[in-house]
C-alpha cells in the first residue's frame, strides 16, 4: 500500500513538471519579406490583397509568391529609421516585411492573412 502511494505521488510530480514544458513549446508564426507585385482592394470584405514575391521563413526558408490579405486587424508597423515618413499605404514595387498567420491556403499562389506588416518605400 505504501509503495502504491509513493508511486502515485511520484507520477503526479513528474506529470506536473512536464506539463509546463509541453505548454511553453508554442509554434511561432511565419514571416515574409518580399517585393509587391500587385494590389487588389476588396470593398466587399474591406480588405486589401497584396500579391508579393519573396521569402517565407517558417521551419525553413523558401522562395514563394504569396497573396497577403491585409484587414482592419492587421497592424501597420512604422519604420523609425532616419527621416523616413510614416507609410500606411502599400504600392507596387514597395518592399514589405510581414508576420503571417499560421493558416495558409494551398492555392497557387497561397493566400495568408498578415498579422503585422511593415512597408518600405524603394528610393527611385
User: For the segment 55-82, what is each residue's pLDDT rounded down to a tens digit?
Assistant: 999 888 888 999 999 988 988 886 666 5
Phi, psi dihedral angles at 97 (to 5 degrees): -125, 125
What pLDDT score was predicted for residue 36?
A: 93
| Sequential DSSP letters for 61-83 | EEEEEEEEEE-TTSEEEPP-STT
Read off the C-alpha cell for 105: 491556403
Looking up residue 81, the CATH number of its domain turns out to be 2.40.50
User: For the segment 22-55, what is each residue's pLDDT rounded down to a tens digit?
Assistant: 444 456 889 999 999 999 988 888 889 999 999 9
13 belongs to a structural domain: no
Is-contact 94 36, C-beta < 8 A?
Answer: yes
Read off the C-alpha cell for 103: 493558416
**What is the bridge-based pairing of β-strands 111-120 and 95-104?**
antiparallel
57 belongs to a structural domain: yes
8 belongs to a structural domain: no
Pick the more confident residue, 27 or 109. 109
Look up the domain containing 80 and give its range: 31-120
Q: Is residue 13 very low, low, confident or very high in pLDDT (cuts 50, 70, 90)? A: low
Phi, psi dihedral angles at 59 (to 5 degrees): -75, -30
Question: What is the percent of the chain where pLDDT is above 90?
Answer: 31
12 belongs to a structural domain: no
Q: Is the dihedral of CA 62, 64, 69, 70 positive or negative?
A: positive
Is-contact 49 68, C-beta < 8 A?
Answer: yes
Look at the chain and report how many structural domains it folds into: 1
pLDDT reading at 117 higher than 50: yes
Query: Is the omega angle on the peptide bond into residue 42 within 30 degrees of 0, that is, cis?
Result: no
pLDDT reading at 88 higher than 70: no
Pick the more confident residue, 75 or 83. 75
Mean pLDDT of 73-96: 75
Amino acid at each position: 500500500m505504501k509503495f502504491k502511494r509513493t508511486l502515485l505521488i511520484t507520477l503526479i510530480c513528474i506529470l506536473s513538471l512536464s506539463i509546463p514544458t509541453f505548454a511553453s513549446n508554442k509554434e511561432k508564426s511565419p514571416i515574409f519579406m518580399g517585393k509587391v507585385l500587385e494590389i487588389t482592394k476588396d470593398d466587399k470584405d474591406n480588405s486589401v490583397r497584396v500579391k508579393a514575391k519573396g521569402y517565407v521563413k517558417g521551419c525553413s526558408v523558401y522562395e514563394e509568391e504569396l497573396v497577403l490579405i491585409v484587414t482592419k486587424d492587421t497592424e501597420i508597423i512604422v519604420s523609425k529609421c532616419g527621416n523616413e515618413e510614416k507609410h500606411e499605404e502599400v504600392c507596387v514595387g514597395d518592399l514589405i516585411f510581414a508576420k503571417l498567420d499560421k493558416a495558409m491556403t494551398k492555392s497557387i499562389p497561397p493566400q495568408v492573412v498578415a498579422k503585422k506588416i511593415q512597408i518600405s518605400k524603394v528610393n527611385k
